[in-house]
């Protein structure tokens, strides 16, 4: 599938300077090195309808992101407030679903994290519910040099 991918870091998480996540599955906080067994935390849009909360992709859904050579797993929410469905993460971007991958950056400065997020942002192909065995470039995204590969 084709998505609009962005990144979020330790520095611009909610709350800032934290790795807190809203839908833990494999990790207690945002983390992951990108392997199938230790995928990177991914945030997705969500909505509130009365008492019902629903995520755009169910927690635990895995993706493979070829441009990053990383597996990712839905464990967090993108957007906040009383009506998150009005925000860009749920609405998407130019008709594409929005995925927001955790780039970490906790051992770097906020500016390095921001530059990395800008580098990886864009419309790109991903695989949902991928098999094991795709090429990987392991490590937290910012700390591993923010490598972006050709599709």
Does 88 have pLDDT greater than 70? yes
The pLDDT of 118-131, averaged and rounded, is 97
Average pLDDT over residues 103-122: 95
Domain boundaries, the chain: 2-128
DSSP 8-state secondary structure symbol assigned to residue 86: G
The answer, yes or no, to whether residue 106 has pLDDT greater than 90, is yes
Q: Tell me: pLDDT of 142 over 80.
A: yes
Helix (H) or strand (E) holding 59: none
Q: What is the 3-state secondary structure (H, E, C) of 78-105?
A: CCCCCCHHHCHHHHCECCECEEEEEEEC
- CB-based contacts of 92: which residues, under 8 Å, 6+ apart? 4, 45, 98
Average pLDDT estimate for 92-118: 94
> What is residue 150's predicted lDDT score, i.e. its pLDDT?
81
- What's the whole-model pTM score? 0.93
More confident residue, 92 or 141: 141
Between residues 52 and 115, the one the model is more confident about: 115
């Amino acid at each position: 599938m084709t998505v609009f991918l962005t990144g979020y870091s330790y520095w611009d998480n909610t709350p800032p300077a934290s790795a807190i996540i809203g839908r833990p599955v494999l990790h207690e906080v945002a983390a992951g090195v990108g392997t199938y067994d230790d995928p990177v935390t991914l945030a997705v849009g969500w909505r509130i309808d009365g008492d019902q909360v629903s995520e755009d992709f169910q927690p635990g859904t895995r993706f493979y992101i070829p441009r990053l050579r990383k597996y990712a797993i839905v464990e967090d929410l993108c957007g906040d407030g009383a009506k998150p469905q009005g925000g860009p993460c749920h609405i998407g971007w130019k008709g594409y679903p929005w995925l927001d991958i955790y780039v970490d950056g906790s051992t770097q400065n906020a500016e390095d994290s921001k530059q990395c997020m800008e580098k990886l942002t864009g419309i790109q192909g991903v695989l949902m519910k991928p098999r094991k065995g795709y090429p990987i470039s392991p490590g937290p995204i910012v700390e591993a040099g923010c490598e972006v590969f050709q599709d």
